[in-house]
């Protein structure tokens, strides 16, 4: 019965979103979403999410200086930088390399770079998390990934790349929304929303149990905390936050 209910409600939601499905079928939606809709929508969502996650991010990033390299500088690479909402949490003098598979965040990114001139911006690379070939192995002290692992094509490949570019003793920081408890109503609604949500939000998957991927990755030390972050009318309340050491 629950599976039948999920399928029925998925069909109803797809009917409501039928114009988007039609645009997708015609090959119009994806380029429009990447260039216009998703950067605009993500900027609005991040404004709300940043308020909800501010305390958690302040606590998460508070020990970033502990991972400075032998030179005394902190070389940080961010996967899926977007508009740069994390810049405010990085310590002064931090050398930041930005990466994103979507190059259409220039307006928000420029605004946040201007607001956070305590950082040194090294370069912006158009690259997927699974393929950071432009970044030399062992070249950064910290990799940051927030609200990104939900939409990469391969979580395990992205984590392998993060470990590759980190120096020994470097750290991978994360804050991600994840699947709810399988027996819960939250998980039921995540299943209902899954196909339409993935289409509208540029590949974002609601039901990934990302803590399992992190536990399977080869970190010498891993700290994971499960937290709840209520977002109005959005099925992304369960989150995980923490970091792993190479």
pLDDT at 54 exceeding the cut of 80: yes
pLDDT(2) > 80:
no
pLDDT greater than 90 at residue 243: yes
Mean pLDDT in residue range 184-189: 94
Reported pTM: 0.94
pLDDT in tens, 120-131: 999 999 999 999
Q: With the C-alpha atoms ordered 20, 26, 28, 30, is the resulting torsion angle positive or negative?
A: positive
Evaluate whether 202 touches 34 at the Cβ level (below 8 Å).
yes
Say yes or no to pLDDT of 166 above 80. Answer: yes
pLDDT 10s digits, 6-44 = 999 999 999 999 999 999 999 999 999 888 888 888 778
Rounded CA-CA distance 192/186 in Å is 10
Mean pLDDT, residues 57-70 taken together? 96
**Smallest Cα–Cα separation from 77: which of 48, 56, 99?**
99
Share of the chain above pLDDT 70, in %: 99
Give the per-residue pLDDT at 31.
92
| Secondary structure of the chain in HEC code, one letter for each residue | CHHHHHHHHHHHHHHHCHHHHHHHHCCCHHHHHHHHHHHHHHHHHHHHHHHHHHHHHHHHHHHHHHHCCCCCCCEEEEECCCCCCCHHHCCCCCEEEEEECCCCCHHHHHHHHHHCCCCEEEEEEECCCCCCCCCCCCCEEEEEEECCCCCCCCHHHHHHHHHHHEEEEEEEEEEEECCCCCCCHHHHHHHHHHHHHHHHCCCCCCCCCHHHHHHHCCCCEEEEEEEECCCCCCCCCEEEEEEEEC
**Of the candidate ranges 41-45, 100-104, 136-140, 161-165, the one whose mean pLDDT is the lowest:** 41-45
Provide the pLDDT for residue 55.
95
Query: What per-residue confidence (pLDDT) applies to 240?
Result: 98
**Is residue 1 scored above 60 in pLDDT?**
no
Question: Are the beta carbons of 203 and 223 closer than 8 angstroms?
Answer: no
Query: For 96-122, how does the pLDDT look when each residue is reduced to its tens digit (9 = 90+)?
Result: 999 999 988 878 889 999 999 999 999
């Amino acid at each position: 019965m629950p599976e039948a209910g999920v399928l029925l409600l998925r069909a109803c939601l797809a009917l409501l979103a039928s114009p988007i499905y039609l645009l997708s079928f015609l090959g119009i939606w994806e380029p429009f979403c990447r260039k216009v809709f998703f950067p605009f929508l993500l900027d609005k969502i991040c404004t709300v999410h940043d308020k909800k996650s501010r305390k958690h991010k302040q606590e998460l990033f508070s020990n970033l200086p502990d991972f400075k390299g032998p030179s005394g500088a902190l070389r940080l690479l961010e996967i899926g930088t977007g508009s740069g909402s994390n810049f405010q949490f990085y310590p002064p003098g931090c050398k930041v390399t930005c990466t994103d598979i979507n190059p259409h965040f220039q307006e928000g990114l420029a605004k946040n770079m201007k607001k956070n001139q305590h950082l040194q911006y090294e370069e912006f690379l158009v690259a997927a998390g699974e393929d950071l070939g432009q970044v030399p192995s062992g070249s950064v002290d910290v990799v940051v990934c927030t609200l990104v692992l939900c939409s990469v094509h391969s979580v395990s490949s992205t984590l392998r790349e993060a470990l590759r570019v980190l120096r020994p003793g470097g750290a991978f920081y994360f804050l991600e929304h994840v699947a709810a408890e399988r027996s819960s109503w939250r998980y039921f609604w995540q299943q209902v929303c899954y196909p339409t949500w993935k289409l509208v939000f540029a590949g974002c998957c609601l039901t990934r149990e990302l803590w399992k991927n992190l536990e399977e990755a080869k970190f010498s030390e891993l700290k994971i905390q499960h937290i709840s972050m209520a977002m109005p009318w959005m099925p992304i309340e369960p989150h995980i936050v923490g970091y792993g050491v190479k």
